[in-house]
Amino acid sequence: MDTWNLTALAVTLGLFAGLYVLGRNRLNFSVLTFVALFVGAGVGLVFRDHVDYIQPLGRVYINLLLTIVAPLVIVSILSSITSLGSTEKLRTIGTSSVVWLMGLNALAILLTLGLSLWIGVGKNADLATQGVDTRALDEIKKPFAEVFIGFFPTNIVQDISENNIIPIIVFTLLIAVACSLVADRSPEKVAPLISLIEAAREIIYKAVGFVIALTPYAVLVLTAVAASTASAGKEQLSALLGLLVVAYIACFVHAFVVNAVVLRVAADVNPVAFFRKIAPAQLTAFTTQSSAGTLPVTTSVLTSRVGVPADVAGFTAPLGTTIGMPGCAGVWPIILAVFAVNGLGIDYSLADYAVLALLSLLVSIGTAGVPGTATITATTVLAAAGLPLEVVVLTLPISAIVDMARTMNNVTAAAVAATVVARRAGRLDDVMFASSHDEPLGRRRQLPPGVETADGVPVGVCGIDDRPTSSTITR
Contact 407, 289 (CB under 8 A): yes
Looking at residue 468, its pLDDT comes to 36
Contact 281, 413 (CB under 8 A): no
Cα 269 from Cα 423, distance rounded (Å): 9
CA nearest neighbour of 343 among 128, 57, 107, 43: 128
Looking at residue 220, its pLDDT comes to 85
Cα 303 from Cα 403, distance rounded (Å): 26
| pLDDT tens per residue, range 353-367 | 888 898 888 877 756
Cα 470 from Cα 103, distance rounded (Å): 28
Q: Environment class of residue 300 by beta-carbon count within 10 Å: exposed (0-12), middle (13-18) or buried (19+)? A: buried
Query: 344 CB contacts (<8 Å, ≥6 apart)?
Result: 127, 129, 388, 391
Contact 381, 224 (CB under 8 A): no
Cα 58 from Cα 110, distance rounded (Å): 35
What b/e readout covers 389-415, taking b as 16+ CB neighbours within 10 angstroms? bbbbbbbeebbbbbbbbbbbbbbbbbb
Cα 100 from Cα 89, distance rounded (Å): 17
Cα 243 from Cα 220, distance rounded (Å): 27
Exposure on the CB side of residue 368, measured as CA atoms within 13 A: 16
Residues of the chain predicted below pLDDT 70: 1, 28-30, 65-66, 69, 76, 80-90, 124-148, 163, 165-166, 229-238, 366-373, 393, 396-397, 436-475
| pLDDT tens per residue, range 247-303 | 999 999 999 999 999 999 999 999 999 999 999 999 888 887 778 778 888 999 999
Whole-model pTM? 0.66
Which of helix, strand or coil describes residue 46? helix
Query: 247 CB contacts (<8 Å, ≥6 apart)?
Result: 331, 332, 335, 402, 405, 406
Looking at residue 240, its pLDDT comes to 74
Contact 357, 313 (CB under 8 A): no
3-state percent helix, strand, coil for the chain, nearest multiple of 5: 70, 0, 25
Contact 376, 368 (CB under 8 A): yes
Query: 394 CB contacts (<8 Å, ≥6 apart)?
Result: 127, 129, 132, 240
Looking at residue 142, its pLDDT comes to 56
What b/e readout covers 358-374, taking b as 16+ CB neighbours within 10 angstroms? ebbbbbbbbbbbbbebb
CA nearest neighbour of 204 among 64, 303, 71: 71
Instruction: Please give the torsion angle defined by the CA atoms of residues 338, 339, 340 and 343, in that order, rounded to the nearest 10 degrees.
Output: 120
Cα 262 from Cα 82, distance rounded (Å): 30
Amino acid at 448: P
| H-state helical runs in 213-255 | 215-232, 238-253
Cα 429 from Cα 256, distance rounded (Å): 22
Contact 288, 294 (CB under 8 A): yes
